[in-house]
């Protein structure tokens, strides 16, 4: 059984319900972070997590990890986008991959961070997603940099046919929302480039061994004063071990 399947939702209730309806494997917990500020639509029983505001992607994922590991004491959690559609057998493949590679504590499939598993060992070493990214973008790249530098063992689930709508939440927003996201994407890239030593818009060319090349802990982060005034889940990484 999958200990927890979790997602974050902001809009497109039709896609959320499609994802939930496509779940074809037993899950002990179905967790949905409601970032919409509106009543949550659903086609099956779930556990809703919410602070009543849009926490962004990183904040929502951190809320999921806190619930899964600190409150429910689960061994692993499978996180996915609310705009994907599981194909028959995909979830069983993820579970089998976790069981077949017990030494791996981070697993994903061909959709990368649109469906991925974080195990307790990864959480206890890497900790929370970087919430300086808001409302989305590069929280996954930052986590991947920390995974690589902290020598986390990774495995890939093969043979998946999961469908992905692609930027569905952004496309469904009004022009004000899309403009805000574009503006913050630029800001996040500037922060990310300074943190990991790469040109802006050039993920994959990171040169720093530690954040800002300062020689400190790889997985440490704190929110800037600007971000402290916006919705967030953590103000800093609660786990700093590498």
For residues 51-73, give the mean pLDDT.
97
pLDDT at 181: 79
- DSSP state, residue 111: T
CA separation for the pair 31, 191 (Å, rounded): 30
The β-bridge relationship of strands 106-109 and 112-119 is antiparallel
CA separation for the pair 222, 238 (Å, rounded): 10
**CATH code of 194's domain:** 3.90.550.60
User: Does residue 80 belong to any structural domain of this protein?
Assistant: yes
DSSP 3-state assignment of 93?
helix
State pTM to two decimals.
Answer: 0.95
User: Does residue 140 belong to any structural domain of this protein?
Assistant: yes
CA separation for the pair 42, 14 (Å, rounded): 9
Q: How many residues does the chain have?
A: 242
User: Does residue 234 belong to any structural domain of this protein?
Assistant: no
How many domains is the chain partitioned into structurally? 1
User: Does residue 237 belong to any structural domain of this protein?
Assistant: no
User: Does residue 218 belong to any structural domain of this protein?
Assistant: yes
* Residue 163, domain extent: 2-228
pLDDT at 203: 85
Average pLDDT, the chain: 94
CA separation for the pair 231, 126 (Å, rounded): 22
User: pLDDT per residue over 164-216, tens digit each?
Assistant: 987 767 666 678 777 877 888 899 999 999 999 999 998 899 999 999 999 99
Least confident stretch, 37-46, 90-99, 169-178, 205-214: 169-178
pLDDT at 173: 67
User: Does residue 212 belong to any structural domain of this protein?
Assistant: yes
User: Does residue 48 belong to any structural domain of this protein?
Assistant: yes
User: pLDDT per residue over 114-134, tens digit each?
Assistant: 999 999 999 999 999 999 999
- The torsion defined by the Cα of 132, 133, 135 and 136, in degrees rounded to 10, comes to -160
Residue 174 contacts by C-beta under 8 Å, 6 or more apart in sequence?
none
For residue 175, is the peptide bond before it cis, meaning its omega torsion is within 30 degrees of 0?
A: no
Model confidence at 51: pLDDT above 70: yes
pLDDT at 26: 97
Residue 64 contacts by C-beta under 8 Å, 6 or more apart in sequence?
4, 6, 8, 31, 33, 49, 77, 79
Model confidence at 239: pLDDT above 70: yes
User: Does residue 239 belong to any structural domain of this protein?
Assistant: no
The β-bridge relationship of strands 106-109 and 76-81 is unpaired
CA distances from 12 to 8, 42, 167, 170, 183 (A): 12, 12, 11, 10, 22
């Amino acid at each position: 059984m999958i200990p927890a399947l979790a997602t974050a939702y902001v809009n497109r209730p039709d896609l959320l319900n499609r994802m939930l309806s496509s779940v074809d494997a037993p899950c002990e917990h179905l967790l949905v972070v409601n970032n919409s500020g509106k009543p949550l639509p659903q086609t099956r029983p779930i556990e809703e997590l919410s602070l009543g505001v849009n926490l962004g992607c990183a904040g929502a994922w951190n809320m999921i990890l806190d619930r899964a590991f600190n409150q429910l004491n689960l061994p692993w959690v499978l996180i996915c986008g609310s705009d994907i559609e599981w194909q028959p057998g995909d979830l069983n493949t993820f579970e089998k991959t976790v069981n077949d590679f017990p030494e791996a504590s981070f697993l994903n499939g061909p959709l990368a961070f649109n469906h991925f598993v974080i195990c307790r060992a990864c959480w206890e070493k890497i900790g929370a997603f970087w919430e300086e990214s808001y409302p989305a973008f590069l929280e996954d790249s930052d986590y991947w940099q920390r995974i690589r530098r902290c020598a986390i063992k990774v495995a890939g689930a093969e043979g998946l046919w999961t469908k992905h709508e692609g930027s569905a939440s952004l496309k469904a927003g009004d022009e004000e929302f899309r403009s805000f996201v574009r503006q913050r994407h630029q800001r996040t890239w500037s922060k990310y480039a300074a943190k990991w030593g790469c040109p802006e818009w050039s993920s994959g060319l990171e040169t720093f061994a530690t954040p800002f090349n300062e020689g400190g802990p790889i997985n440490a982060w704190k929110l800037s004063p600007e971000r402290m005034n916006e919705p967030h889940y953590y103000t800093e990484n609660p786990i700093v071990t590498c």
